[in-house]
């Protein structure tokens, strides 16, 4: 037994040394050329797809520019995702103080982790797979309807490895049965689908970029921040990059520049380059290239309200179990066990109200309180397992899948090194409060079903100072509103800040072909173009959209 463990550890260490030090792909460059046909800015979820697809043609040259470097090896472990937050692999953004939400968080600010490195946020998310529902796309431009995206959804499912939680697991079985028992009100329940391969993360970095990064016509430039898009009149001609050494260089594009920086970085870069609201540009003494009032607006995000559920049966993931020799052995030797999962059991929805069952019974206060920015008293009130690593339970995350509240991203200064001002405007619309209340009721209703009763499930009601004036009862609207405004947390699904629309749409930043309206040679493909939220996690949708975007680009005349 111990010989096998030792051999496995040696193989792991040798593999890591080989992969990170001896086998750097030929596409990685430190000194890029002066000109490329296509320049892709940002090696996140979409950027990996775009760069891979465009470089399939040997007749074109492609440069992929990324501000970060490689992610640490433990990014492959789904449950280790929180460990990457507030590190050099994270842009580590924080929102502005919120007026209508985040009252249980320090300074009423949400921390917004965004991946910085090859793979972007796809290397630090919880690998939950979803394409939303068909009606999500009914308000999108017709070219991006569910029907038109369906072939790309199928393509993604063939390329990205997807696994489904086994219905044989006791917690999963209870959740699945609850969906059958309360199959009214148009409620639908699904066991979680995840982008996992042999217990490890499967992202667009693994499935697209790594299979392309030995192509001679693809160059990947890491640790280089794009500080400006260069224009000649109204045509994007190139980019200005700043290296970690402080050196600044210009690189020109013969055909197009495709921005894949994400919901925060893309509008920031546009404004720094002179495309955005005139008042905002003039405020920071940025020369106006093209007035575009909608850049940075229409910002949305899902807000999750955690409901802790106590269990009597030993069926959840606990810190004690995760740290056990048995679980560590199963993961590193066989690629299975608790560490090979994301602990997400399933999702449910009724209308626009959604729930997600996260099967962690215990949470690490020293880690999760900090990355969520909770006040200590709030954290301990919501998560009773903070002091007991053996406590059995799980967390329901209740949210409004189609929130109406909108915020914006604006510049802090005209320096690219200064993070922008992020104001998501959480819960400004009362619709989102009612929608979240209904989600909480859906979560509670599952606990009355046979499977959960058999597991001894009971909802924990937090005693929050902010909500002490209301009946401590989840069925009370005033209490759930107070709860939502106090403990609601970002789901890490921001989007919409460069929304897509028709060319004549005054609220759009890009047209149906993802071209920035009013200028030539510049497109955007990332979550910022999504005009409305996806009713679920958007990562797989963005991969599919990037596939279609690549087809549009290569056929463009």
**pLDDT 10s digit of each residue in the chain, 557 long?**
444 444 455 445 545 544 544 468 999 999 999 999 999 999 999 999 999 999 999 999 999 999 999 999 889 998 888 899 999 999 999 999 999 999 999 999 999 999 999 999 999 999 999 999 999 999 999 999 999 999 999 999 999 999 999 998 999 999 999 999 987 668 999 999 999 998 899 999 999 999 999 999 999 999 999 999 999 999 999 999 999 999 999 999 999 999 999 999 999 999 999 999 999 999 999 999 999 999 999 999 999 999 999 999 999 998 888 888 888 888 888 888 888 899 999 999 999 999 999 999 988 898 899 999 999 999 999 999 988 888 999 999 999 999 999 999 999 999 999 999 999 999 999 999 999 999 999 999 999 999 999 999 999 999 999 999 999 999 999 999 999 999 999 999 999 999 999 878 899 999 999 999 999 999 999 999 999 999 999 999 999 999 999 999 999 85
Q: Which of 456, 475, 491 is the last residue of a domain?
A: 491
Domain CATH number, residue 555: 3.50.50.60
The torsion defined by the Cα of 478, 484, 129 and 127, in degrees rounded to 10, comes to: -150
Phi first, then psi, for residue 288 (nearest 5°) are -80, 120
Same domain, 503 and 487: no
Same domain, 340 and 460: yes
Same domain, 318 and 422: yes
- Identify the CA nearest to 102 among candidates 443, 375, 377: 375
- The residue range of the domain holding 336 is 162-194+302-491
Place of tokens 């309180």: 369
CB atoms within 10 A of CB 246: 6
Same domain, 219 and 275: yes
Q: Which of 491, 510, 529 is the last residue of a domain?
A: 491
Same domain, 521 and 551: yes
Same domain, 208 and 188: no
Q: How many CA atoms, within 13 angstroms, populate the side-chain half-sphere of residue 239?
A: 32
User: Active-site positions?
Assistant: 493
Same domain, 188 and 320: yes
Query: Distance between the two ends of the chain, CA-based, in angstroms?
Result: 63
Same domain, 542 and 482: no
Domain CATH number, residue 426: 3.30.560.10
Whether residue 109 lies inside any domain: the answer is no
DSSP secondary-structure letter at 531?
S
Same domain, 276 and 386: no
* Structural domain count of the chain: 2
Same domain, 203 and 329: no
Q: What stretches of 139-265 adopt beta strand conformation (E)?
A: 163-164, 187-191, 193-194, 196-197, 200-201, 218-221, 224-232, 235-243, 248-259
Same domain, 346 and 450: yes
């Amino acid at each position: 037994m111990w010989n096998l463990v030792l051999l496995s550890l040696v193989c792991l260490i040798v593999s890591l040394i080989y992969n990170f030090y001896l086998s750097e792909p030929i596409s990685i460059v430190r000194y890029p050329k002066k000109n490329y046909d296509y320049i892709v800015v940002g090696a996140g979820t979409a950027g990996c797809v775009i760069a891979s697809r465009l470089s399939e043609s040997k007749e074109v040259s492609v440069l992929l520019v990324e501000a970060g470097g490689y992610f640490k090896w433990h990014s492959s472990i789904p449950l280790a995702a929180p460990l990457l937050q507030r590190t050099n692999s994270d842009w580590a953004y924080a929102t502005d103080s919120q007026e209508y939400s985040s009252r249980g968080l320090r300074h009423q600010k949400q921390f917004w982790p965004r991946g910085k490195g090859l793979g972007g946020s796809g290397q630090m998310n919880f690998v939950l797979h979803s394409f939303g529902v068909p009606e999500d796309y009914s308000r999108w431009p017709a070219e991006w309807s569910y029907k038109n995206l369906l072939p790309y959804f199928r393509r993604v499912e063939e390329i990205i490895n997807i696994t489904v939680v086994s219905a044989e697991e006791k917690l999963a079985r209870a959740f699945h049965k609850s969906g059958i028992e309360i199959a009214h009100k148009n409620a639908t329940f699904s066991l979680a689908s995840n982008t996992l391969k042999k217990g490890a993360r499967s992202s667009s970095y693994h499935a697209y970029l790594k299979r392309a990064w030995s192509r001679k016509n693809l160059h990947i430039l890491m640790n280089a921040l794009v500080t400006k898009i260069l224009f000649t009149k109204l045509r994007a001609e190139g980019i200005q990059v700043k290296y970690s050494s402080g050196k600044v260089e210009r690189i020109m594009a013969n055909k197009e520049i495709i921005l894949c920086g994400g919901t925060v970085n893309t509008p920031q870069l546009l404004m720094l380059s002179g495309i955005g609201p005139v008042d905002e540009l003039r405020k920071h003494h940025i020369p106006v290239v093209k007035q575009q009032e909608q850049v940075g607006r229409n910002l949305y995000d899902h807000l999750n309200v955690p409901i802790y559920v106590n269990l009597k049966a030993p069926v959840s993931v606990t810190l004690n179990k995760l740290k056990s020799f048995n679980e560590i052995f199963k993961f590193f030797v066989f690629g299975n066990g608790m560490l090979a999962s994301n602990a997400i059991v399933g999702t449910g929805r009724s209308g626009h109200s959604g729930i997600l069952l996260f099967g962690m019974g215990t949470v690490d206060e020293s880690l999760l309180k900090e990355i969520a920015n909770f006040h200590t008293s709030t954290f301990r009130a919501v998560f009773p397992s903070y002091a007991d690593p053996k406590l059995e339970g799980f967390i329901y995350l209740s949210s409004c899948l189609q929130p109406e509240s909108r915020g914006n991203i604006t510049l802090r200064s005209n320096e690219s090194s200064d993070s922008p001002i992020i104001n998501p405007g959480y819960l400004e619309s009362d619709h989102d409060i009612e929608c979240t209340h209904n989600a909480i009721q859906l979560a509670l209703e599952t606990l009355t079903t046979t499977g959960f009763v058999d597991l001894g499930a009971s909802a924990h009601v937090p005693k929050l100072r902010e909500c002490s004036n209301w009946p401590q009862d989840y069925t009370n609207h005033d209490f759930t509103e107070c709860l939502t405004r106090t403990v609601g947390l970002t789901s890490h699904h921001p989007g919409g800040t460069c929304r897509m629309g028709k060319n004549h749409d005054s609220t759009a930043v890009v047209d149906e072909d993802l071209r920035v309206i009013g200028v030539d040679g510049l497109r955007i493909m990332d979550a910022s173009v999504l005009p409305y939220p996806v009713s679920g996690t958007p990562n797989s949708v963005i991969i599919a959209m990037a596939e279609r975007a690549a087809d549009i680009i290569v056929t463009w005349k």
